[in-house]
Amino acid sequence: MGVLGAGRWACSAHIPAWLRDPRCEVAVVCDVAPRLAQDAAREFDIPDAAGDWQAVVARPDLDIIDVVTPSSTHHELARAALEAGKHVLCEKPVAFDFRDTLRAAELARRRGRLTKLGFTFRYSPGVLYAKSLIDSGFVGTPFIFNGYEQNSQWLDPQTPLRQVDPNADPSVLHVSSLEGYGAPIIDIGHWWVGAGFRRVVGTMRNFIPERMVRATGRMMRMNIDDGDIFIGDYTNGVIGSIQTSYITIGNYPGIEARIYGSQGAIVCRLVEEGGVAETIHVATPADVEFKRLEIPERFYPAGGHPRESWRTLFYANLIRDFIDEILEGGGRNQGNFEDGARVQEVINAVERSFRDRRWIDLPLER
C-alpha cells in the first residue's frame, strides 16, 4: 500500500497502524513536500519516498491507497485512486458536498473496490464493545442518543488554526467544528442507533473571532463555527442531540456517546484522563447506578492496552478491520464512503438549518 501525505497525522496514526499489521507492506510514502516524504520514509523504514502522487496512484504493485492530505484534496485523490483500481482509505471528509461523496462511493462499487473513511473513534475498543452490547440486546429498544465531541484544542486564540481559508468572507459564518469535529460522533450515532436522521435543526456560533492563522502567521478575524449544537429525529423513532466544539475545556479526543433504551443505558467516554484512553459505564432499570465495565481484550489490537495513546490504539483497529474486509472478500465494509456521505449529508443539513432558521428534512435533494 501507499500513503499520500506525510504530515503529523500520517506519521502519528496512519503509518504506525499499517506497520503494526504483518499482512501489509507500506511500499511508498508521498508528499508534495518531498522532504516530508523522505523524513517519513527514513523514520519508518519505508522503501520509497515520492513527490508525485499521480505516479504513486498509477503503480500496478499497490493494492491500497491511503489519503492523509489536506481536506480540499481528498476528493480528487480518492477518485483517482479508485479509477486506478485501488482500495482507498481516506481521511474525512471525502468531499464537502455529500453528493460528491456518494458519487465516489458509486465509483468504488463499479470498480469492485472497498473504501474506508477515517472515522477513528468508531474503532475505539470501548465503542466496539458498546456496539456489541447493543447488538446483544443490552439496551433493548433504543430511545435517545446523545453525542459530544469537544476539547479545548483551540481555546487559546494564539494556537495556530489549521486548514482555514484566510480569504473567506468574514461576514458569513463558515462551518468548522461541525464538519471537523461533528463527523465522528454523528457516525457513531448512526451506527449505534441503527438508522439515519429524518430531520434536524441546529445552531452554530463563533465564540472566539480573532485567531492566529497558520497560513498567514498572524491574528485574523475568522468567522468560523467553533461551537454548535443540533437535535434531530432518527428514521426509527429515536431522538438525538449532538454537540461539538474545540473550545470546550477538556482533553483529547473529547468523545462521549450515550444511548438510553428500554432495557439499559451505555455511556462510552473517549477522553484521555489519568493515562487511560477511554471508559465505559452501563446501567439497567433494576440498577440505575452506572457501573464501569472492563473492556474485553478481544476489542484491542495486537499489543494494545488501555494506557496506550488513543491515536495509535484506535487507528490500529481501523486498519486491522480494513485489511480483514479486503482479505475476507465477503462484501463486509463498515465505515465506508457511503457512511461518510450519510454523515456529510447531516452536516450539510444542519448548516442549512442554521442559515434558514428552520427544521430540515432528510434526505436532501440529490
Q: Is the dihedral of CA 181, 314, 77, 38 positive or negative?
A: positive
So what's the pLDDT on residue 365? 95
pLDDT tens, residue by residue, 39-52: 999 999 999 999 99
Is residue 287's pLDDT more than 80?
yes
Beta-bridged to residue 243, according to DSSP, are: 148, 229
The residue ranges of every structural domain in the chain are 2-113, 122-361
pLDDT tens, residue by residue, 316-349: 999 999 999 999 999 899 999 999 999 999 999 9
Three-state SS for the chain is CEEECCCHHHHHHHHHHHHHCCCCCCCEEECCCHHHHHHHHHHHCCCEEECCHHHHHCCCCCCEEEECCCHHHHHHHHHHHHHCCCEEEECCCCCCCHHHHHHHHHHHHHHCCCEEECCHHHHCHHHHHHHHHHHCCCCCCEEEEEEEEECCCCCCCCCCECCCCCCCCCCCCECCHHHHCHHHHHHHHHHHHCCCEEEEEEEEECCCCEEEECCCCEEEECCECCEEEEEEEECCCCEEEEEEECCCCCCCEEEEEEEEECCCEEEEEEECECCECCEEEEEECCEEEEEEECCCHHHCCCCCCCCCCHHHHHHHHHHHHHHHHHHHCCCCCCCCHHHHHHHHHHHHHHHHHHHHCCCEECCCCC
Is residue 56's pLDDT more than 90?
yes
pLDDT tens, residue by residue, 9-47: 999 999 999 999 999 999 999 999 999 999 999 999 999
Which letter, b or e, does each residue of 29-46 get, where b requires 16 or more Cβ atoms within 10 Å of its Cβ? bbbeeeebbbbbbeebeb
Mean pLDDT of 291-309: 95
pLDDT tens, residue by residue, 174-224: 999 999 999 999 999 999 999 999 999 999 999 999 999 888 889 999 999
pLDDT tens, residue by residue, 117-146: 999 999 999 999 999 999 999 999 999 999
Residue 161's pLDDT band (cuts 50, 70, 90): confident
So what's the pLDDT on residue 166? 75
Domain 2-113 classification at class level: alpha beta
Domains 2-113 and 122-361 share a fold: no
Domain 122-361 has CATH 3.30.360.10: yes
So what's the pLDDT on residue 336? 98
More confident residue, 278 or 166: 278
So what's the pLDDT on residue 164? 73
So what's the pLDDT on residue 163? 66
Q: What is the pTM of this model?
A: 0.96
